[in-house]
Amino acid sequence: MILSVCGKGGVGKTTVSAVAAQALSARDGVRALIVDADPAGGLGMALGLTPRKTLNDVRKEIIEEVKAGGRDEKDLAVSLDYLLAEALTEKGNLAFLSIGRPEDVGCYCKVNVILKDAIEGLAGRFDATVIDAEAGIEQVNRKVMSPVDYVLLVSDTSAKAVRVAETIKGVADSMIGGEDAGLLVNRAREGREAEKIRMGTSLEVLGWIPEDDTIRRFDGEEISFLELPECPAREAITAALEKTGLL
Amino acid sequence: MALFDEQLGEVRRILADWREGAGAREFSAGERAPWPEGQSLVLEEDTALELGNPSVASLSLLLWSEGGDVEDGRITLVGPDVPEAKERNVPFAQVVIAGGSFASEYDSYRDARDAVYDTRLHGFSVRTMPSRQSIWCRVARVAREEGFSLVDLGAAFIEALKSLDEVSAAQVVFVTASVEDVKKLSGAAAGAQRIVDAMMKMYQEENFDCETCEYQEVCDTVMDLKMIRKKLTEGKVP
């Protein structure tokens, strides 16, 4: 099961992804890959995990391998597998991979194809994968999310955030096709706010997350969400994740 | 000089030293039932033993010989085997030597390499980085409890290699004794990689301008590389 958490910037995707990681970390016998696909890199911070190497570092090393010559696709594929393993930060049953921030230019399409294939291969070895996507539609548009089984759309109660979620769903349907998707409304003051959104959107609304002082404290004090105790927000997110089939 | 003669000579000298110093144990590929195959993801928390973690020394070599001097079916272990390892993380070297007839060097190399790369065993994960000659393996707790041994891995390599038409014999050497022992093989590993890189470049890029090639000094010392070049240029220029 590969679940991608998508939505407009600032709506709480990283919090939802972090709670998903926390919920998976508590499951016996489940091995989960957690991918921070947002170059801003907030998920690692939320989980208290600092990657030694990012996917962008891996990409640069693979480009160097290609430039050096003398490597066929098989050599590059096994090299990529090795470098990806180096880039995984493990904690218990979780393996965390951060995309990092590309700062160079250039097109290496062949490498990017291998990279995408390898990420698909990596996710295939885990029982569950959660991807905290970059804000907006870029990664969906570029089919980075093509292996995803479920698109978990997150919005706050603003009409703008709900429209962005609808746009992402539309792009996912046309570019990738076939995934299930649902909307999780964050920072709702009460169920009526979520109900109002449900009436005004074609998206399936999975639930709503209340404002929660525990979440605020964990964010403010940089405490790892892997330590998050039971709280209303965690309960709401977990309930929504159960509907997606991730849990 | 044949393709890997120099590296084979070096490995055999080092192996003779280990054998003489009673640091090597010998096993036969057929002495244990084959270990089940399987694609394994072994996370750190499930790991009983890590071999060649990037933070310690590791080396992987694949050589071949057409001289009939390969000790067929022999698995040599220098250092503790999986059940005996006291540390959780040990240095690791793996030397795989194939014997046979390798008329088409490029295809033969890729066949042998793929046979090694594609050997996947239950409860054992392996990753290799050809340009660094590095190898990084994890043995799952469950595999160690079930009695997994490096002899099982060696036997799987030998079986995979001998399924190839061009391979008639194969032997494997594993080193887990110490970083120093692993590093003894670094010269042979680097030399073999330079030869493979030169060969791959010739076949892939079809650039035969020795004046501009970074592998000129390799070809100057390895006769078989010159012969490969001659074959390719004759095929290329009518």
Report ipTM (2 d.p.): 0.86
| Angle, helix B105-117 to helix B186-205, in steps of 10 degrees | 120
Chain A neighbors of B204, CB-CB under 8 A? 69-70, 72
Q: How many CB pairs under 8 A join A and B?
A: 56
Mean pLDDT of A68-89: 88
Q: What percent of chain A has pLDDT over 90?
A: 62
Report CB contact under 8 Å: A69, B127: no
Query: Whole-angstrom Cα distance, residue B47 to residue B53?
Result: 12
Note the pLDDT of residue B1.
60
Task: Please give the helix or strand (H or E) that residue A157 lies within, else none.
Answer: none
Per-residue pLDDT band at B97 (split at 50, 70, 90) = very high
Per-residue pLDDT band at A144 (split at 50, 70, 90) = low
Interface test with B, best of A57, A71, A88 (most B CBs within 10 A): A71
Residues 168-187 of A with CB under 8 A from B: none
Query: Whole-angstrom Cα distance, residue B129 to residue B149?
Result: 23
Q: From the CA of A227, how many Å to the nearest CA of chain B?
A: 18
Q: B47 to chain A: nearest residue by CA?
A: A92
Mean pLDDT of B177-182: 96
Alpha helices in chain B (DSSP H): 5-20, 105-117, 141-145, 150-162, 179-183, 186-205, 216-221, 223-236
Higher pLDDT, B203 or B131: B131
Higher pLDDT, A61 or B75: B75
Q: Report the half-sphere exposure of A15 (CA within 13 A, side-chain side).
A: 28
Is B212 buried (19+), middle (13-18) or exposed (0-12) by CB count in 10 A? exposed
Q: What percent of chain A has pLDDT over 70?
A: 87
Among A99-108, A177-186, B66-75, B167-176, where is mean pLDDT lowest?
A: A99-108
Report CB contact under 8 Å: B54, A86: yes
Note the pLDDT of residue B238.
36
**Is some CB atom of chain B closer than 8 A to the CB atom of A30?**
no
Q: From the CA of A112, how many Å to the nearest CA of chain B?
A: 18
Question: Which two three-digit tokens encode residue B79?
Answer: 């250092």
Among A34-38, A49-53, B232-236, where is mean pLDDT lowest?
A: B232-236
Beta bridge partners of B98: B64, B170
B44, B114, B136: residue with CB nearest A82 = B136
Note the pLDDT of residue B95.
98
Chain B neighbors of A65, CB-CB under 8 A? 131
Note the pLDDT of residue A37.
87
A65, A74, A125: residue with CB nearest B131 = A65
Among A17-26, A61-70, A229-238, B27-36, where is mean pLDDT lowest?
A: A61-70
Note the pLDDT of residue A110.
45
Among A125-139, B144-158, B209-223, where is mean pLDDT lowest?
A: B209-223
Note the pLDDT of residue A136.
73
Chain A neighbors of B114, CB-CB under 8 A? 74
Among A4-13, A69-78, A160-169, B58-67, where is mean pLDDT lowest?
A: A69-78
